Amino acid sequence: MADKVVLGLDIGTSRIKFAEARMTRGGPVITNAGIGMTPRDTIANGVIVDPGTLGSAVRELLSAHGVGTKQVISSVASQSALVVRPIELPRMTTEELEDTMKWEVDRHIPFAASEVVMSYQPLIPPEQLPEEATNMEVLLAVAQEDMIEAHVQTLFSAGLNPIVLDVEPLSACRSLVDIDRDRGAYDSTYALLNIGATTTDLSIMRNGLLSFTRAIPLAGDNITNAIAEALGYEFHEAERAKTEEGTVYVEGAPALEAPRTAEPTPAAEVGPPPPLEAEPPPLPEVEPPPPLESDEGPGKVFDLGADTEPAGPPPEKEPAPPPLPSIHKPTSGSPARQVYDAMLPTLGELATEIRRSIEYYVNRYPDSGVDKVLLFGGTARLPHFAEFIGSEIGLATVVGNPFQRLTIDQSNVTVDIVEDDACYMPIVVGLAIRDMLE
Ligand SMILES: Nc1ncnc2c1ncn2[C@@H]1O[C@H](COP(=O)(O)OP(=O)(O)OP(=O)(O)O)[C@@H](O)[C@H]1O
Ligand SMILES: [Mg+2]
């Protein structure tokens, strides 16, 4: 394992993110990391439609950062062509489960597809279930084969060698929660919120097991579109206004002046996001984390994720959340105020959807409250967004930083990536260190 170097790659609708990790005797070290723009029209509804162009963009990004590593672990998101969901089954042996899953899978595919790739993992291995348990939970991932093939083709066209395909929620849980299990992270329930460009992914990790996922089709692009509509801007102008002027204000709090670093790159223009459903869809439910491995070679590996080992040491109770900062609105008529006013209805809608999804989870599993919300994805760069979400949903909310417990080799990793852009990186760091955590 020592000297093993792996690249984690997240190809988002708006941006491509990567992190490289090297396994050393002292643990994983992050040796490179970066962000680039996803070329327009290469991804539609979360599915890659132009692997050639996208592969070239990945290759250029990696070469611009001097990355020579070819071994890559990439991830797919829970969108239109992938379901990641914990399902409940009667208790059975590993062999029985293998048979059952062949049939079970049909009941869980919400998309039309004749060819699917499936992976599953019991949350708790059958032989470790408590004696009295009559049921067991299994994390299921099913993806359209075409979607997986387009992803793998993109990696090949970037000149990479895919080792495994993981799913986003498990990757992020690894770098934000698993990594802290020696500090009692498995004694709490975390809601991870990945707010990207087109989708907000909610994943709830309870006692170290991925217990619930839901994809909300409302995210950064909707905020940009709201600004474009209110101020009569083109999408790219609205995107610039959002990243340069956008700040969120928490009513009733004291003034803030957010030091901000401008997002250097203009955002790619993307199609209008799908309309938000009035009622939350019939949930993808609970999940726990497991990985799936296969030796069939690149392209056939669809991996669910991590080990299911129960956590380590003593539960230290989370300290009480710090009081919310008071944040005043900017002067009426100022550009910041115009952008804020334009964003507010969409931000409110997003907070409502998040709150309803978390409420659904809490109602369904009344013995499990949510202790803390970890926010990430590019939209988490919006200043004071975590405070806003926290105050809207009434839960302690912070921006997740996957670098906190890792050693960083600063020769190829900029301070910006580790600080301001850390919110982009939980997935790629989780992918790169996938097989490096104890
Ligand atoms: N400073 C900022 N303020 C507000 N939003 C920002 C800022 N910087 C980046 N964003 C937004 O972050 C989003 C991109 O984040 P991210 O890379 O996580 O998305 P993605 O993975 O490409 O999208 P998806 O996961 O939906 O496919 C864009 O909508 C962009 O406008
Ligand atoms: Mg994303």
Mean pLDDT by 10 residues, the chain (438 residues): 84 97 94 98 92 98 97 85 86 92 80 78 88 91 89 97 92 95 94 97 93 93 98 97 92 45 35 33 34 35 43 47 56 88 97 96 88 97 96 96 95 94 98 91
Collect all residues with Cβ–Cβ distance below 8 Å to 414 and sequence separation of at least 6: none
Distances (CA, A) of 287 to 69, 121, 270: 32, 10, 30
The reply to whether ligand 1 has any atom less than 6 angstroms from the CB of 350 is no
pLDDT tens digits along 51-85: 999 999 999 999 999 999 999 999 987 666 788 88
Tokens 């004749």, located at residue: 114
- DSSP-derived letter for residue 295 is -
Ligand 1 pocket mutation, candidates 9, 15, 38, 424, criterion most atoms within 8 A of CB: 15
Site to substitute for ligand 1 among 14, 35, 416, most atoms within 8 A of C-beta = 14
Torsion of CA 43, 47, 48, 50, to 10 degrees: -70
Please indicate whether residue 381, judged by its CB atom, sits closer than 6 Å to ligand 1.
yes
Closest residue by Cα to atom 3, ligand 1, is 382
* Residue whose token pair is 């102008």: 237
- β-pairing, 135-144 vs 189-195, is unpaired
Q: How far apart are CA 95 and CA 86, in angstroms?
A: 19
Ligand 1 site, residue 198, Cβ cutoff 6 A = yes
Residue 220 Cβ contacting ligand 1 at under 6 Å: yes
Index of the ligand 1 atom closest to the CA of residue 199: 26
Token readout for 258 is: 């957010």
Q: What are phi and psi of 176, to 5 degrees?
A: -105, -25
Length of the chain: 438
Whether 53 and 433 have beta carbons less than 8 Å apart is answered as no
On whether the CB atoms of residues 167 and 141 are closer than 8 A, the answer is yes
pTM: 0.83
Cα 46 to chain center, whole Å? 13
- Listed by start position, the domains of the chain span 5-432
Helices and strands, number each (H, E), in the chain: 10, 16
Please name the residue whose Cα sits nearest to atom 25 of ligand 1: 196
Could you read off the pLDDT of 408-428 as tens digits, one per residue?
999 999 999 999 999 999 999
**Looking at domain 5-432, does it have CATH number 3.30.420.40?**
yes
